[in-house]
Amino acid sequence: MDRDRDRANEAHQDHTAGEGIAADDNPADNTASDARGSRRQFLKRSIAAATGVAATSVWDASSAFAQEQEVPLPGPPDEIGDESYWEKVRAQFHLNPDTIYLNNGTLGLCPKPVTKAVFDGYVYLAETGSEGRYQLWDEVEESRKMAAGFLGASEKEIALTRNATEGLRFIVNGIRMEPGDEMLMTTDEHIAGYQPWNQRARRYGIRVNQVQIPSPPRDKQEVMDLFEQALTPKTKVIFFCHVTRGPGLLYPVRELCDMAREKGIVSAVDGAQTPGMNPVNLHEMGCDLFATSLHKWALTPSGTGCLYVREGFQDNFWPGSGGNGPWNDREQGMWHVGPHGTYERPVRAAIKTALNFLDSIGMDAIYARDRMLSDNLKERLLELPGVSLGTSRDHALSSPGITSFSVEGWDTSLLRGILEGKAGIILSRDQRRYHDLVRVSTHFYNTPAEIDRLIELLKEIL
């Protein structure tokens, strides 16, 4: 995908329906960029002439979002346990000092360079209007390519979306199935995962089956066995989370996808809870489809996510709603999925700022810090009366950022309300048919002192 294609498609939109400028007919060559260059000069001159003011901000490369690097990146730690390093990292966030934020699983907090990039991007658009969009297109493309690398995918396999929910809709509506075909999901799916399947079942006559996986399971084999037993000869798709929302169970994705492929079954994964916390390598994981939000653990601006469609699966994929691109041009990879019309370019452009931020700390260090915090939290919770963990202590079965627990005789919403009211502790809960859990989700900007405070309060309350 390139900027000229973007321009071509916008030209297409600007024409009346049916006039039919095919995207590929539009010049994607040097002539076009030369023309843009002189148009920029023309714009500068004409604004200056019309207003008597030199139009320095129009097309000025140093303006607006180009300055995002002014907020220095943290760089990697010498030692994971060095709290003075993490204090400096924390200073890069806007966190309200009266709040203990333990709800990263719902929404991550953007670091300062990211909010600045979004702001600057909108200022730039306000300065340059429709012309500025083309500059921002390059920035968005950089974000998309960087996201592909971050997820271990190729550029042709990734489309940017607004969130996991949007990507999951594409997935559910994009897989070919006949009436009577079956799909298998777990009882722990997020509403964004099960709703579109239930809707498709009602409308098109497919059947949704469910398998219950305990929170936590004994081991990976238990998960594999339960899945395998729940398959039927009509199962065409399996769908599950990489990491579940509540218990934070880390699924054996590779093993499940291998099993599915051997049986000719499509594998689709809800990855909303992983990138930015767990390492994600989609090629190694082997799934056909993966949808995620980036605004949780990857700390990108709210309203950003990705959809992955494995290259070898793309001919089978028919998303219900296409982008503005040539839907039948497979060479353009995921172009046929999005974007949809005019969209929030400064927001998507800032994805790369967030990924750069994570990269400057290093994903290994982030993973180790997250593990340190959640291992500590799990141990301390188990010392409290009546507490049981819904999250495994086994690293092979748990994500490093999500720790869930229940307390005998306690309603989790009440407990959550007391914690928030007493000490401004923001956390979440996960109430399902088979469990009722308080969810604490910690990321690298949280501190051991915040965990101490949570434990102290729980002791007091219980």
Ligand X SMILES: Cc1ncc(COP(=O)(O)O)c(C=O)c1O
The tokens for 171 are 């997935």
Q: Rounded to a whole number, what is the distance in angstroms from the first to the last CA of the chain?
A: 57
Q: State in angstroms the smallest separation of the CB of 195 from ligand X.
A: 10
317 near 174, Cβ under 8 Å?
yes
| Residue 103 interacts with ligand X (CB under 6 A): yes or no | no
Closest CB to ligand X among 128 and 293? Answer: 293
Closest to 116 (Cα-Cα) out of 166, 73, 151, 178: 73
Q: State in angstroms the smallest separation of the CB of 136 from ligand X.
A: 23
335 near 325, Cβ under 8 Å?
yes
Closest CB to ligand X among 134 and 227? Answer: 227
| Residue 193 interacts with ligand X (CB under 6 A): yes or no | yes
> CA-CA-CA-CA torsion for 52, 58, 60, 64, nearest 10 degrees?
120
| Residue 273 interacts with ligand X (CB under 6 A): yes or no | yes
| Residue 133 interacts with ligand X (CB under 6 A): yes or no | no
| Residue 392 interacts with ligand X (CB under 6 A): yes or no | no
User: From CA 218, how far away is CA 413, in angstroms rounded?
Assistant: 27
Closest to 74 (Cα-Cα) out of 421, 286, 359, 332: 359
Q: State in angstroms the smallest separation of the CB of 212 from ligand X.
A: 16
**Cβ neighbours around 17 below 10 Å, total:** 7
| Residue 427 interacts with ligand X (CB under 6 A): yes or no | no
**Which segment (27-35, 51-59, 161-169, 416-424) binds ligand X by CB under 6 A?**
161-169
Closest CB to ligand X among 163 and 403? Answer: 163
**C-alpha 345 chain-centroid distance:** 17
For ligand X, which residue of 165, 374, 392, 412 counts as binding (CB under 6 A)?
165
| Residue 143 interacts with ligand X (CB under 6 A): yes or no | no
Q: State in angstroms the smallest separation of the CB of 293 from ligand X.
A: 3
For ligand X, which residue of 117, 192, 249, 451 counts as binding (CB under 6 A)?
192
Reduced to 3 states (helix: H, G, I; strand: E, B; else coil), residue 273 is: coil
| Residue 270 interacts with ligand X (CB under 6 A): yes or no | yes
Q: State in angstroms the smallest separation of the CB of 280 from ligand X.
A: 14
84 near 156, Cβ under 8 Å?
no
**C-alpha 165 chain-centroid distance:** 10
Reduced to 3 states (helix: H, G, I; strand: E, B; else coil), residue 329 is: coil
Q: State in angstroms the smallest separation of the CB of 163 from ligand X.
A: 3
Closest CB to ligand X among 287 and 458? Answer: 287
User: From CA 370, how far away is CA 165, in angstroms rounded?
Assistant: 25
How many residues interact with ligand X (rule CB under 6 A)?
Answer: 13
| Residue 106 interacts with ligand X (CB under 6 A): yes or no | yes
| Residue 430 interacts with ligand X (CB under 6 A): yes or no | no
For ligand X, which residue of 89, 272, 289, 377 counts as binding (CB under 6 A)?
272
For ligand X, which residue of 190, 345, 348, 439 counts as binding (CB under 6 A)?
190
Binders of ligand X among residues 317 to 376 (CB under 6 A) are none
| Residue 300 interacts with ligand X (CB under 6 A): yes or no | no
| Residue 163 interacts with ligand X (CB under 6 A): yes or no | yes
**Which segment (38-46, 163-171, 330-338, 436-444) binds ligand X by CB under 6 A?**
163-171
- If you ran DSSP here, which 8-state letter would residue 300 be given? P
User: From CA 151, how far away is CA 297, in angstroms rounded?
Assistant: 13
| The residue type at 165 | T
Q: State in angstroms the smallest separation of the CB of 29 from ligand X.
A: 39
Q: State in angstroms the smallest separation of the CB of 30 from ligand X.
A: 40
CB neighbours of 379 closer than 8 A, spacing ≥ 6? none
| Residue 307 interacts with ligand X (CB under 6 A): yes or no | no
Q: How distant, in Å, are the alpha carbons of 7, 134, 158 from that of 139?
A: 14, 9, 16
Residue with tokens 């398998």: 211
| Residue 172 interacts with ligand X (CB under 6 A): yes or no | no
**Number of residues assigned to the chain:** 462
**Residue 95 phi/psi, 5° resolution?**
-40, 130
| Residue 241 interacts with ligand X (CB under 6 A): yes or no | yes
CB neighbours of 406 closer than 8 A, spacing ≥ 6? 387, 388, 390, 412, 435, 436, 437, 438
**Which segment (93-101, 146-154, 268-276, 438-446) binds ligand X by CB under 6 A?**
268-276
**Which segment (118-126, 189-197, 203-211, 339-347) binds ligand X by CB under 6 A?**
189-197
Closest CB to ligand X among 210 and 316? Answer: 210
Contact residues toward ligand X (CB under 6 A) are 106, 163-165, 190, 192-193, 241, 245, 270, 272-273, 293
